[in-house]
Structure 1
Amino acid sequence: MNITRENIDELNAIVKVDIAKDDYIEKVDKILKDYKKNANIPGFRKGHVPMGMVKKQYGQAVLVDEVNKLLQEALNKYLTEEKLDVLGNPLPKEKENFNWDQDNYSFEFELGLTPQFELNLKTKKPITLYKIVAGEEMIQNQITNIQKQYGKLISKEVAEEGDVVVGTIVNEEENIDNLGTISLDQLKGKKNINKFVGAKKGDLITLKTKGLFEDDHQLEKVLNVEHERIHDLDVEVTLTVTEINHQESAELNQELFDKLFPNSEVKNVEDLKEKIKEDAAKQFQQQGDQQLLNDVTEALIENNKFDLPKEFLQKWIRTVGEKPLTEEEAKEEFIKSEQGLRFQLIEGKLISENKLEVKFEDLKEFTTARIKEQMAQFGQTDPAEKELDDIAARVLSNQDEIKRLSEQLMNEKLLGFYKENISLKEKEVTYEDFVKEIYK
């Protein structure tokens, strides 16, 4: 067997594999002898079928199979030994009038080579590192919600604005029959609110589902229907009032502070605001970090220019799906995926050059920390080490979980690298302003 390579240019090459009869004949003969021993052909006893008949019936199929196996093994070994970094997979070149009725064969493969480039981490201008905080309005809304949540309901005979009405909601055609609770301050529009004002127990109120609430998802809870039905649901329902309550807000006192934050230093409303702001900042950090990853990705693609073997990649894209694509479809698919491919190459080089590897011990520590966070949410703040180890071992026995957690850990490593090595400028914004700025 002989393998040679011709470099067309820096990004494209042709590999030629010559296979001689001596490379495959021993394996082919052995398989055909085994076929002969076990063949069941009418008119012949088992094991006594003439080899000529076995070759005639099975010879070419066995030959093709063994040559293809040999070809694939040789090509993979060659790429590894030559340390060729290729994009996609080698593409076989079509050969006119190829004939299997010969002893020696020659095959050619097109290769798309990974471009060589120097990694440039210098951005044209500093990238914004958003520090997202809760604004005064958000903090006040949170306090109001807390007061409602820990407040008490006072039964009433007649409904007024701001009250909570409980009733049986029915629409027979849509199979809706549910005891729902409606806070009147969540309704959309004065017209809907006025239908409830003055209502008494036993009254029947007709409502349209479309545009009933400020948030359509509230309708899901009230009607107890599937999420996918909510946004397009436009029907009339009847509500028979069974209960009317006024929600009295809880007082902002030490008793409430201790319920909310046991063993904390919250002693007054200002402390409460500071605690809410602190907790919100932790929640918002993930969004700020994700935006940093997005912005750095764009900047690195912009800063690191290199050519790709476009024609090869478009040809390869045509072959890799469940069904072949046309040239035009493959071109469109390449355009869609080009930026992702470019960043994949940049990120791979960055990870390799800076040794940002994910070791198993790092992954185990990362997984254990995530498990502790989840357990803390359910009140288990001091789990035993053995319990954590057992849960982590179960999680890391699943290959899909290993892949998912490894990607998360690598993202954290990349984030830490960017914060230390990319030019950044910190900007403090409220959540509302962050949304406006990013999604404007």
Structure 2
Amino acid sequence: MFFNNFQQNLSHMQVNKEQTGEVSASIEIRIGKNDYEPEVNKALKDYQSKAVVPGFRQGKVPFGIVKKMYGNAMLAEQVNKLVSDSLNNYIKDNDLRILGYPLSDVERTGTIDFDSNDEFSFYFNVAIAPELDIKLEDIQVTYPKVKADPIEIQKTIDKLLTDYPEVTYPETYQQGDALELRSTQADDKGNEVEGGYQATVMVDSTDIASDAVRQKLEGQVLGAELILNFSEVFGDDEKVIKALKLSDEDNHLIHADFNAVIDEIKRTEPATLNESFFGRIFPSETIDSEDEFRNRIGQEIEKQLESQSDYFVYSLGLKQLVDETPMKFDEAFMKRWIVDNSNGEISASEIENTYGDFEKSMRYQLIEDELSSKYPELLVKKEEVRQYVANYFFGQMQMEKTEDMEKMLSSTIDSILKNKKEEDKIIRQLRENKMVRLFRSKLNLVEQEMTAEEFKSLVTKNSMEITEE
């Protein structure tokens, strides 16, 4: 057992720390009458002015009676407050890095007798956080330098050809085209109903459920007028309601005839590899040939895979730190603390099966705390959190970035960040992004060229190893 005793005198109070192990200690708070009596008397006098006791007017109860009735309760309250404040101040003033919070040592403290004693000693057990010596430069990790192979490039191009088709607006409809129909309610003779229901209806070729409707539309030209029953077009009442935007009051029109005018014919065809297509994919660049386009696609693939490689080495480096950084814990204390902190959800027997997972989580947290202390650039600033939210609106929501819009967004951001869970989620994401960049710049990386498929296999293999652990 290791001993390192010293005292801190606060008036008549004594705070003693005894090192009971390499990563554990006991703290004694010794309190005398002079420490608590002034506050107890003050509390009793305050209560005396409000007390209601039979036989006495309010505020006129003799102090002796108030003390006899409520003295021990006030004494216990003030002593507990004094002990709590003294313990917290001692830990803070002495920069004592502890895990969890102090646990009362009931056995050493014993039974507190407020009737017979005027000096009390309280004992608390604490777990000392291990000292860490982390040197990111000493961690060697393979860095996947992923090269885009022709197969991956072709897969990407094929997807782009599908995702960015050629769109034209012909004069004549053919099967496969989409239509925009200006539709007005018609009577049984095909005449427009005066004041009747009107709607713009979009019809894609895949929506048409009837061969008769397909034949009716084939060869129709822009501006043509047709009588259509949309229940025949779509073959589904819910689709008709959605297409015509019918309210409950208008649902009787589901099977009604409409006079439909073709306002637009839209034709979508597979794109072809030409300069026009290259310009749509890279609008700010000039690409003159298919070979140049393929090289450019390869660069984009490698750029995306580079960010994945960065995250991969961060994950491996962090795992290596967690697994190999020497750390000692007071296991008995930590198990007791977990049970005490679980509010009855975890029993002493259950913690025996789950402690390993808890300790691993604690190792992660201690390493992250140590890195945050060692590298100030990991600190997430308030303005970074606000900018992250703003970027979401200007980026993913594609909102125009103007001065008026920025002012309007400021109150929206304030509202979002009032949600503590949402704010914490953003902070965790930003901190992880910073950690990824830090590990990329500090770790001892050994580059290894590989294909995208080889990289995927490597990621899968390491993910499985982590899961098995």
Matching residue of 2:33: 21
Query: For residues 377 and 318 of structure 1, do their structure 2 counterparts lie closer, same or farther at Cα, with a shift above 3 Å needed?
Result: closer
Question: Using the alignment, how far apart are the partners of 1:100 and 1:280 within structure 2?
Answer: 75
Which sections of structure 1, spanning at least 5 residues, go unmatched? 158-162, 165-178, 185-195, 204-222, 225-244
Q: What whole-Å deviation, never above 9, does each CA across 1:244-293 have from its counterpart, x for those lacking one?
A: x9963234444444444433324444444445444444544443332222
- For residue 419 of structure 1, the aligned residue among 412, 437, 440 is 440
Q: Is 1:3 paired with 2:15?
A: yes
- For residue 312 of structure 2, the aligned residue among 291, 313, 325 is 291
Query: For residues 248 and 386 of structure 1, do their structure 2 counterparts lie closer, same or farther at Cα, with a shift above 3 Å needed?
Result: closer
The one-letter code matched in structure 2 to 1:250 is: A
Question: Using the alignment, how far apart are the partners of 1:130 and 1:390 within structure 2?
Answer: 43
Q: Is 1:118 paired with 2:139?
A: no
Query: For residues 75 and 389 of structure 1, do their structure 2 counterparts lie closer, same or farther at Cα, with a shift above 3 Å needed?
Result: farther
Matching residue of 1:395: 413
Question: Using the alignment, how far apart are the partners of 1:366 and 1:133 within structure 2?
Answer: 34
**SS of 1:90 mapped into structure 2:** strand
Question: Using the alignment, how far apart are the partners of 1:380 and 1:431 within structure 2?
Answer: 34
Matching residue of 1:189: none
Matching residue of 1:142: 159
Q: Is 1:334 paired with 2:346?
A: no
Deviation at 1:74, TM superposition (A): 0.3
Q: Do the aligned partners of 1:131 and 1:429 also contact (CA within 8 Å) in 2?
A: yes
Q: Is 1:63 paired with 2:81?
A: no
> What does residue range 344-423 of structure 1 map to in structure 2 within 5 Å?
344-358=365-379, 360=381, 364=383, 367-368=386-387, 371-372=390-391, 374-379=393-398, 383-384=401-402, 388=406, 391=409, 395=413, 398=417, 400=420, 403-423=424-444
Deviation at 1:155, TM superposition (A): 4.5
- For residue 264 of structure 1, the aligned residue among 281, 285, 303 is 285
Q: What whole-Å deviation, never above 9, does each CA across 1:233-254 have from its counterpart, x for those lacking one?
A: xxxxxxxxxxxx9963234444
Matching residue of 2:459: 438
Q: Do the aligned partners of 1:358 and 1:409 also contact (CA within 8 Å) in 2?
A: no
Q: Do the aligned partners of 2:167 and 2:267 also contact (CA within 8 Å) in 1?
A: no
Q: For the pair shown, which has the larger CA radius of gyration, 1 or 2?
A: 2
- For residue 104 of structure 1, the aligned residue among 108, 113, 119 is 119
Query: For residues 377 and 81 of structure 1, do their structure 2 counterparts lie closer, same or farther at Cα, with a shift above 3 Å needed?
Result: closer
Q: Do the aligned partners of 1:128 and 1:424 also contact (CA within 8 Å) in 2?
A: yes
Q: Do the aligned partners of 2:389 and 2:413 also contact (CA within 8 Å) in 1?
A: no
Matching residue of 2:59: 47
Question: Using the alignment, how far apart are the partners of 1:266 and 1:395 within structure 2?
Answer: 40
Deviation at 1:48, TM superposition (A): 2.0
Q: 260-269 or 13-22, which moves further after superposition?
A: 260-269
**SS of 1:112 mapped into structure 2:** strand
Query: For residues 422 and 318 of structure 1, do their structure 2 counterparts lie closer, same or farther at Cα, with a shift above 3 Å needed?
Result: same
Deviation at 1:199, TM superposition (A): 8.4
Q: Do the aligned partners of 2:72 and 2:114 also contact (CA within 8 Å) in 1?
A: yes
Matching residue of 1:90: 102
Deviation at 1:403, TM superposition (A): 4.2
Q: 385-394 or 269-278, which moves further after superposition?
A: 385-394
Query: For residues 139 and 41 of structure 1, do their structure 2 counterparts lie closer, same or farther at Cα, with a shift above 3 Å needed?
Result: same
TM-score, structure 2 length as denominator?
Answer: 0.65
**SS of 1:74 mapped into structure 2:** helix
Q: Do the aligned partners of 2:103 and 2:337 also contact (CA within 8 Å) in 1?
A: yes
Question: Using the alignment, how far apart are the partners of 1:256 and 1:431 within structure 2?
Answer: 25
The one-letter code matched in structure 2 to 1:98 is: I
CA RMSD of aligned residues (A): 4.0
Q: 264-273 or 25-34, which moves further after superposition?
A: 264-273
Amino-acid identity (%):
25
Q: What whole-Å deviation, never above 9, does each CA across 1:150-186 have from its counterpart, x for those lacking one?
A: 57897439xxxxx99xxxxxxxxxxxxxx998979xx
Q: 146-155 or 133-142, which moves further after superposition?
A: 146-155
**SS of 1:18 mapped into structure 2:** strand
Question: Using the alignment, how far apart are the partners of 2:45 and 2:454 within structure 1?
Answer: 77
Query: For residues 124 and 250 of structure 1, do their structure 2 counterparts lie closer, same or farther at Cα, with a shift above 3 Å needed?
Result: closer
Deviation at 1:66, TM superposition (A): 1.6
Query: For residues 331 and 9 of structure 1, do their structure 2 counterparts lie closer, same or farther at Cα, with a shift above 3 Å needed?
Result: same
Deviation at 1:109, TM superposition (A): 0.4
Q: Is 1:302 paired with 2:323?
A: yes
TM-score, structure 1 length as denominator?
Answer: 0.69
Which sections of structure 2, spanning at least 5 residues, go unmatched? 1-12, 179-201, 215-237, 240-265, 462-469
